[in-house]
Amino acid sequence: PTVAVIGLGYIGLPTAAILASTGADVIGVDINEKNVNVINEGKVPFVEPDMATTVAGVVSQGFLKASTKTPHADNYIVAVPTPFTDGHEPDLSYIETAGKQIAPLLEGNEVIILESTSPPGATEFLAQTVLSTRPDLTLEPGTAQTIYFAHCPERVLPGRIMIELRTNDRIVGTLNGNAGERARDLYQLFCEGEFLMTDARTAELSKLTENAYRDVNIAFANELSMIADKLDINVWELIDLANHHPRVNILQPGPGVGGHCIAVDPWFIVATTPEHSSLIKTAREVNDSKPQFVLDKLLPQAKRIKDVRVAALGLAFKPNIDDLRESPARRIVNQLSDELPEATIMAVEPNIDKLPSDLEVRENVTLTELYAAVEAADIVLLLVDHYEFARIDRKLLTQKIVHDTRGLWNSESTT
Ligand code: SAJ
């Protein structure tokens, strides 16, 4: 089959590469010319375990090509961003642009699969965008002018994408005709998981439901951490005790929720049905309030120390990755820098070798090696539970004010 994958980001590129590795003829399309060139050289623009070797292989064999121009293909996979606006409303403009790019190329009988995490109704919106540009085409199944639309949300975990693309079960939602079956046939080339067939709208909401479920559960843990702090109780011990109950399984509190999925997707449900989404909305607000809670605990102590030195351990949004998107740790370090202009803030992030631009411009923030930072610090603020931090010599932490937001050093933890 010929496949065009629109959007070569964290999902589009691994999907394009894995499809190409089955022998499918894949063209990956992206507006970022630099990334397109990098991929055509057989290299990768971001780190994901095992992806680089797959991309190098399929590019050298000619199964994967990248381009800034959308080609004609029998199958289109749309994996573009679906951000939200300042008012927490979904922004479907990238989906709209993709639809307008594809529409003029269609001949009839193509399958268009929306993979981007989307609010309910987005697959239909993509279909309407295509049809409004091409009124000669139709959703009515079985004609020579029919275009088939399906929603097939990805559910892979960053850091395990190449494995989970093969092994996860896959939800496939049909908008019209046998679109779902045709999408399934394509994904079956590489996916060994079970295929769960439904309609497009249910598929859209199921993906959002999974991430909202996790967000609500993390919010419960985060709320408990604030309650426990007020009562001078160790929240890690508290959760461990409660989790011994056979039907209780509380997640771990932290400095907030980051990444580009769990901190975003629940808002799509809230925006669609605000009158019935109070729990989901409150969970988002609880998780979003956690960075400020960490700062409110830390700042009064820091302000009492002259020329205070803070070691901020971790900038990524979760352990053992280099992804700083929507990271609460990064937000906290930025705000610390604002609130403590006289302080020295030593950021430690073993997975990057250069600070992101928002931190690099700050004079009081440096990227520092772990031991040097901890040794020099008055305050040690643990923000990400990277495995390098777990192994640190505890003796170094005595005499320091320690804020362990992840419970990594459990007994010393505060927030
Ligand atoms: N976190 C906590 N406490 C916990 C678990 C996580 O504070 O007990 C925080 C993490 O530190 C991080 C955030 O939550 O800041 C999200 O991390 P995560 O590992 O829960 O999830 P993501 O964002 O990497 O990936 C999620 C996954 N969804 C679910 O587990 C339901 C993944 O399967 C999805 O494919 C992905 O979102 C996505 O793309 O939607």
ipTM of predicted assembly, 2 dp: 0.96
- pLDDT band, residue 415 (cuts 50/70/90): very low
Q: Determine whether 207 is an active site residue.
A: yes
Do 93 and 165 meet the contact criterion of CB atoms below 8 Å apart?
no
Q: Which two tokens stand for residue 252?
A: 């771990």
Choosing from 65, 191, 207, 290, the catalytic residue is 207
Kindly give, in sequence order, each residue whose CB lies less than 8 Å from that of residue 103, ignoring residues fewer than 6 positions away. Answer: 129, 130, 133, 134, 137
Domain boundaries of the chain, sorted by first residue? 2-193, 212-412
Pairwise CA distance, residues 351 & 157, whole Å: 18
| Of 81-90, 119-128, 171-180, 269-278, minimum mean pLDDT range | 81-90
Determine the pLDDT at residue 159. Answer: 84
Atom of ligand 1 nearest to the CA of 406: 7
pLDDT at 145 over 70: yes
Indicate which residue's Cα is closest to atom 34 of ligand 1: 155
C-alpha 197: how far from its chain's center? 25
Task: Report pLDDT digits (tens) over 173-228.
Answer: 999 999 999 999 999 999 999 999 999 999 999 999 999 999 999 999 999 999 99
% of the chain with per-residue pLDDT over 90: 94
pLDDT at 412 over 50: no
Residue 389's φ and ψ, nearest 5 degrees, are -80, -30
- Write the burial class of residue 225 (CB in 10 Å: 0-12 exposed, 13-18 middle, 19+ buried): buried
Pairwise CA distance, residues 21 & 371, whole Å: 43
| Of 85-89, 168-172, 203-207, minimum mean pLDDT range | 85-89
Mean pLDDT, residues 390-415: 84
Same fold, 2-193 and 212-412: yes
* Choice from 211, 252, 315 to test ligand 1 binding pocket (greatest atom count within 8 A of CB): 211
Pairwise CA distance, residues 278 & 106, whole Å: 42
Atom of ligand 1 nearest to the CA of 207: 40
Determine the pLDDT at residue 411. Answer: 55
Mean pLDDT, residues 345-362: 96
Task: Report pLDDT digits (tens) over 24-83.
Answer: 999 999 999 999 999 999 999 988 889 999 999 999 999 999 999 999 999 999 999 999
Domain over 212-412 is classified CATH 3.40.50.2300: no
Task: Report pLDDT digits (tens) over 282-317.
Answer: 999 999 999 999 999 999 999 999 999 999 999 999
Determine the pLDDT at residue 271. Answer: 96
Measured torsion, CA atoms of residues 189, 191, 193, 194, in degrees rounded to the nearest 10: -50
Pairwise CA distance, residues 387 & 23, whole Å: 38
Alpha helices in 254-309 (DSSP H): 265-272, 278-303
Question: Considering the entire predicted model, what is its pTM?
Answer: 0.92
Mean pLDDT of the chain: 96
**Residues lining ligand 1, judged by CB closer than 6 Å?**
117, 154-158, 210-211, 214, 218, 251-252, 254, 257-259, 261-262, 317-318
Pairwise CA distance, residues 166 & 14, whole Å: 11
% of the chain with per-residue pLDDT over 70: 99
Choosing from 261, 281, 306, 395, the catalytic residue is 261
CA of 239 to the centre of ligand 1 (A): 19
Domain 2-193 class?
A: alpha beta
Q: Is 151 helix (H, G, I), strand (E, B) or coil?
A: strand
